Amino acid sequence: MIEKLKLKNFQRHERLEIKLDPKVTAITGPSDVGKSSVLRALRWLSMNRPMGVGYIREGCDDVQVSVKVDGETRVQRRRDKTKNSYRIKQQGVSWSYNAIGSDVPEDVGNVLNLGAENFQGQHDPPFWFGLSGSEVAKALNKIVDLSAIDEVASLLATKIRKNKTEVQIWTDQVDRAKEKVEGYEFVTQLVDRCKLLKRQLELVEKQEETVNQLKQALFVAKDSYREFVHKYDIAKDGEGVVKAGDVIKLMMDKKYELRLMVERARDFETLVTKEVPDIERLIKYREVYNKVTEEVQSLSSLLREVKIWYEAAGMGEKSLKDIEEELTKQLDGVCPVCGGPFIP
């Protein structure tokens, strides 16, 4: 509702402010003092009529008309020879509308909500009595905005048709989707198989973990086996040392026998130089010689085996040399068979 009206430089009014009653406001005064100008200023503000600049007070450059609506909203119209603008101020926020043509800005029309049917001039015929039935209907329609009902009804009908179409489309799509779903019944079986595969995969993962543990145990067993083989080789080498000791003992026994044979050979040599040997004794000495030769060969073979055993047992070449030197010393460096140098 319009609560206050202000005019500045509008026709006869240099400055005028009118507070309007919520029900009825009467403007009285002599003729030609500007009573109609007040109604004309409100019409100019709300409908942009009359047009032009003929209503600017004589001697002034601009004109302003403003109203206060519903306590907080203000609408102002300003016009000079070059500018034509509206301004709305509401709750401390302002909106300006410039370069106005023949129409009123939509926001201004929505705030004021006034039309030609709201104005009755001094020289107009009695209100609506001179109008035809259709003209009255149009005027009523403008006042109560019956066209809005028609527009809403039309809009609702349009939306209902549109919604029905969309519902039908969605229904068809749902039916097609159901058919497709029926074609995907195997998905349930596939899900069950996936669950089974998942359980099997978990079992395989557990088995892989067990396999890894077995591999680790196998590595440990291999390390233990290598350690066992190493200790076995050491033990075997120790056994070879024991055998080498037995061989050395046997060799010492052979050495003693060889010394006896050497002494017999020396006796045989003395006998040969002093007496003419008879054939039978020579044959016997020949047999002794052959036997000694076999013993020497056996002893040499035994020495080679001892050398190999000593090397395998890690006793070193020094011990063998000591044995060879001892044997050479016992034989005085002379072979008891051929009388030549003894070479082990």
Listed residue (95, 125, 98) closest to 110, CA to CA: 95
pLDDT at residue 92, as a whole number: 86
161: pLDDT strictly greater than 50: yes
- Strand, helix or coil at 96? strand
- The average pLDDT across 53-82 equals 90
User: CA dihedral defined by 333, 339, 342, 344, rounded to 10 degrees?
Assistant: -140
Q: Is the dihedral of CA 303, 309, 312, 318 positive or negative?
A: negative
d(CA 162, CA 219): 78
At 73, is the pLDDT very low, low, confident or very high (cuts 50, 70, 90)?
very high
270 versus 49: which is more confidently predicted?
49
Last residue of a domain, one of 54, 78, 113: 113
d(CA 269, CA 153): 159
| Assigned domain for 146 exists | no
The strand ranges marked E within 40-173 are 62-69, 73-80, 84-90, 93-97
282: pLDDT strictly greater than 60: yes
| Assigned domain for 107 exists | yes
39 versus 264: which is more confidently predicted?
39
Q: What is the pLDDT of residues 238-272, one digit of tens each?
A: 555 556 666 666 767 766 776 777 677 666 656 55
- The average pLDDT across 183-197 equals 80
| Assigned domain for 216 exists | no
Tokens representing residue 243 in the block: 């055998």
| Assigned domain for 27 exists | yes
* Cβ atoms of residues 10 and 57 within 8 Å: yes
At 316, is the pLDDT very low, low, confident or very high (cuts 50, 70, 90)?
very low
220: pLDDT strictly greater than 70: yes
| Mean of all residue pLDDT scores within the chain | 78
pLDDT at residue 53, as a whole number: 84
Distances in Å between the Cα of 113 and the Cα atoms of 48, 53, 59 are 13, 24, 33
DSSP tag of 56: B
Q: Which helix (H) or strand (E) holds 3?
A: strand 2-10
* Cβ atoms of residues 74 and 89 within 8 Å: yes
* Domain extent at residue 262: 222-330
d(CA 52, CA 225): 118
| Assigned domain for 71 exists | yes
pLDDT at residue 126, as a whole number: 74
| Assigned domain for 135 exists | no
142: pLDDT strictly greater than 90: no
d(CA 76, CA 4): 12
Listed residue (255, 265, 236) closest to 299, CA to CA: 255
Last residue of a domain, one of 113, 148, 164: 113
205: pLDDT strictly greater than 80: yes
pLDDT at residue 209, as a whole number: 86
Q: Which residues contact 323 (CB under 8 A, 6 or more apart)?
A: 248, 251, 303, 306
For β-strands 13-19 and 62-69, DSSP reports them as unpaired
Query: Which has the minimum average pLDDT: 80-89, 128-137, 322-331?
Result: 322-331
Q: Which helix (H) or strand (E) holds 292?
A: helix 279-313
Q: How would DSSP label each residue in 205-271?
A: HHHHHHHHHHHHHHHHHHHHHHHHHHHHHHHHHHHHHHHHHHHHHHHHHHHHHHHHHHHHHHHHHHH
Total domain count for the chain?
Answer: 2
| Assigned domain for 272 exists | yes
Count of other CB atoms within 10 angstroms of residue 63? 21
18: pLDDT strictly greater than 90: yes
pLDDT at residue 38, as a whole number: 92
d(CA 86, CA 66): 10
At 187, is the pLDDT very low, low, confident or very high (cuts 50, 70, 90)?
confident
Query: Which has the minimum average pLDDT: 72-86, 218-232, 299-313?
Result: 299-313
Strand partners, 7: 16, 65
Give the CATH number of the domain where residue 107 resides: 3.40.50.300
Listed residue (300, 292, 290, 298) closest to 261, CA to CA: 292
| Assigned domain for 78 exists | yes
Last residue of a domain, one of 64, 86, 113: 113
